[in-house]
Every structure is written in C-alpha cells, then in structure tokens.
Amino acid sequence: MRLDIVSIFPDYFAPLELSLLGKARRAGIMDVHVHDLRQWTHDRHNTVDDTPYGGGPGMVMKPEPWGEALDTIAPAPAAPRLIVPTPSGRPFTQATAARLAAEPWLLFACGRYEGIDSRVMAEARTRMPVEEVSLGDFVLAGGEVAVLVMIEAISRLLPGVLGNTESVSDDSFAPGAMESLLEGPVYTKPPVWRDRAVPDILLSGNHGAIARWRRDEALRRTARHRPELLARLDPDALDKRDRAV
C-alpha cells in the first residue's frame, strides 16, 4: 500500500518509523511519503493560510498550495483515494479502517486552522475519490494526529503486519462476532497478583466455556460503557444465553 501525507508539520510523522508501522515500512508492506505543503508556496513567507471569506475567527488554508500538491503527487491518470481528516467529516470506524486497508493508494491531506478552502476537495473530486472523515466529536488542532491514528488502525489490518492473524478478529468492533461489541477484560500470568485471582474459567482449559465467558463479558462491558451499541446488535446473532446477560 502506498501512503502519501501532506502537512505543514512533516515532523509529526516521525512515529511512523517506530514499532509495527516501522516494521511494515521496512518490510515493504507500506510505502510512506511525507510532503511539506510549504514546498508548493511561492511567496517569501511560504504562506499557506488567509482570512475566511464571510468573516469569522481563525484562518483558512489557501487553495493554491493544495492544488499544486495534489497535481504533483497524483498527476492524472493516477488516482489515490484522498482522505481529509476534519471534525465535520463522516465518522471513522473499524469498518472504515478495513475498507481503506484494501486500497492500493491513500493520500492524506492534513488541514490546520479552520480547515482547507472547500474548493480543493470539490476540484479533487473531479479526478479522485475524496472522503472527509472525523475521529469523533471533539476538535483537534489539526489533521496530523488524526492521520497517525488512521494509519495505525489501517496498517495493522494489512496482511503481514500483525504476527497473529487471530488477534484482529477478536478486537472490539471486528467484523463478525465482535461487531458492535467491546472486548472484555484480559489477563496474563501470574494467576494471583495482589490477592486478585484470574477468573477460574480462563484456567479451565474448556474452550467452549471460555468463549462463552468472553462473549458474556463483552456484552456486559458494552452495556456498561456503550449501551447504544447493544441496539445495533443483530438479533439473529444473539443466542438464548446472550439474552440472559
């Protein structure tokens, strides 16, 4: 998968060298290119923003550098999927991550200030798919951290990035059994720590009973932390014992 990122703070992306992401890059699974938007400015101050038409606080990112950046990185007929993080976008979910993990080429445009002049996305839509996505109902100072979050969520779904393929299907929100469910508590050795014992059932070796217990815990945790998610569970996916939880 090829990833291009355009930002006025390319240094934000140093963590892409670390951990799983770094390994995926070194293994050639992810080919990442970070670009400084200011290279597509032509004035002495490398200006990327200006005051908003219609008035109001803050600044808006100017269209010209963004237009040149997109022309240079994605000259026709090549067409990446352009992802623009913004609090006014559609929600980014595990399903979004899975869908984007199947794309060959993603281009992330990191806005700052009040956002990017809307004509940039409108013009880009004439030659590539464009998605404005939000990480949640809060406002970050810019898209950089949102892009790091998205790349981490997407890259761990790429074949060869995680060692154990099972660990993805057990995740909270994973398609299948865990869709609309939060993962329950997990334990490791020692069996007793500060007088707290690991639940007996996990030491029983009874895989059927352990799977049942994990599902019950996931249902309980979801009811406690995210009750609105339970309404989304497919009634046909519930069994009699689910209803008792």
Catalytic residue among 10, 52, 63, 87: 87
* Nearest CA-CA partner of 7 in 121, 145, 194: 145
Task: Establish whether 114 is a catalytic residue.
Answer: yes
Q: How far is the CB of 5 from ligand ADE (least distance, A)?
A: 13
48 labelled binding-site residue:
no
Is 115 marked as a binding-site residue?
no
User: Which position among 64, 114, 123, 216 bears the catalytic label?
Assistant: 114
Element (H, E) at 24: helix 19-26
Smallest distance, Å, CB 92 to ligand ADE?
Answer: 7
Judge whether 199 counts as a catalytic residue. Answer: no
Would you call 195 a catalytic residue per the annotation? no
Query: Could you give the 3-state DSSP secondary structure of residue 208?
Result: helix
Q: Which residues bind ligand ADE (CB under 6 A)?
A: 85-87, 134-136, 138-140, 143, 146
For strands 49-50 and 2-7, give the pairing: unpaired
Q: How large is the C-alpha radius of gyration of the chain?
A: 22
Distances (CA, A) of 18 to 22, 36, 100, 105, 106: 5, 20, 21, 21, 20
Is 216 an annotated catalytic residue? no
Would you say 187 and 198 are in contact if contact means Cβ atoms under 8 Å apart?
A: yes
Q: How far is the CB of 134 from ligand ADE (least distance, A)?
A: 4
Q: Token match 């779904």: residue? A: 157
List, as one string, the DSSP characters of 135-194.
Answer: SSSS--SBHHHHHHHHHHHHHTTSTTTSS-THHHHTSTT-SSTTTT--------S-SEET
Q: Active-site residue among 81, 99, 156, 220?
A: 156
Taking the complex as a whole, the smallest distance from the CB of residue 148 to ligand ADE amounts, in Å, to 11
Closer by beta carbon to ligand ADE, 65 or else 85: 85
- Residue closer to ligand ADE by CB (options 114, 171) is 114
* 61 or 219: CB nearest ligand ADE: 61
Closest CB to ligand ADE belongs to which residue?
Answer: 85
72 or 118: CB nearest ligand ADE: 118
229 is in an annotated binding site: no
Q: Are the C-beta atoms of 82 and 124 separated by less than 8 Å?
A: yes
DSSP 57: S
Considering the complex, state which of residue 40 and residue 92 has its C-beta at the smaller distance from ligand ADE: 92
Q: Annotated binding site for S-adenosyl-L-methionine, which residues? A: 111, 135-140
> Binding site residues, as ranges?
111, 135-140
Active site residues: 87, 114, 156, 171
